[in-house]
Structure 1
Amino acid sequence: MILLTITDNPKDRTKFCILYEKYRYLLHKVAMDVLHDRYLAEDAVQSAFIKIADNIAKVGEIDSRQTKSYLIVIAKNAAIDISRKRKRQMKREINADEIGEEKLPAVCMESDLENGVLDILKNLPEKYRDVFLLKYSAEMENSEIAKVCGIKEATVRQRIARGKVLIENEIRNLEASRHETDRGD
């Protein structure tokens, strides 16, 4: 175990090993509750145990309620950090094929058009953009989006439909201006 090399003190190593064996499944469950992905939850648990190893002196009695709470907070924060990082990455990585190809006009996605589509997504009104990104980037269900945003599920469906219409119209405008440029008008 690589984490054992973080601490030099044999007592701290023993304490860390006991903590790891006793609490790893609990911390994994806490991370799963936040991330809903087994592999990401494993990453969060590893990150949490690195923080625990760095702060092993702050850990009191292994079986105490305070220790358990401290470890849970570290694991939950590690999972939240991973979730935030993923959301930021997804916002940057959204592509036109994640929008719902059946509703979009068929276009050749050249770099200037791709940039135009990304601009369209960035410039959507916030209430549509947020729901749209959660639906198609984070692949969340409408019920999950409703809980996260504090709105009704019907409102989520309505915003997705209206967002698609806005995107379709903007893509048509983008294509039209592109064709005018190509013709030299």
Structure 2
Amino acid sequence: MLPIFLTIENDSDREKAEEIYRRYSGTMLYVAEGILRERQLAEDAVSEAFVKIIRHLEKIDLLDCNRTRGFVVIVVRNTALNMLRERNRTVHLDDFGDCPDTAEPVFDHVSAKEACDRIADAVAALHKSYSDILYLKAVLEYSNQEIAEILSISPENVKICLFRARSALKRQLMKEGDFCER
């Protein structure tokens, strides 16, 4: 048993954490190693990411494998990227421009299913950091504070990233011509 599991007092939480590790540690290592390009650093990233995951065990449902896998991948990817930035001592600035949040997209003669499919495609086409933060907020329903802890950024930065992600999504949907501004 890994020493980190010994810190979990509740038996059911410990079992849940062990199961998550058993199911996803290989995926986590693969993602981290793809970013960091060094096995030792990737293992460190997995350990650090797993500590973050343990803090949110109560929100993880093992029955919903896709949702859990998505959450785990987002956490380890952002942990590895943070480690890479720190290691290279470079500042990574996402400057996709700001758009005022003045209008909501409107469904115009499109069925709800088609609209959901188009929105999902538009989200998938966004920059990964934007789709990740939208996934954490809209699908997994994490608070800004929780997202800040998961992504190791400030709550203010979460607000800015969410604003930019929503703006980018609106631009993407407008570009496709499926939705119009009001």
Smaller-chain TM-score bracket = 0.3 to 0.5
Give the TM-score normalised by structure 1.
Answer: 0.46
Give the TM-score normalised by structure 2.
Answer: 0.46
Larger-Rg structure = 1
Give the number of the structure whose residues are more often helix, by fraction. Answer: 1
Structure number with higher relative contact order (C-alpha < 8 Å, ≥ 6 residues apart): 2
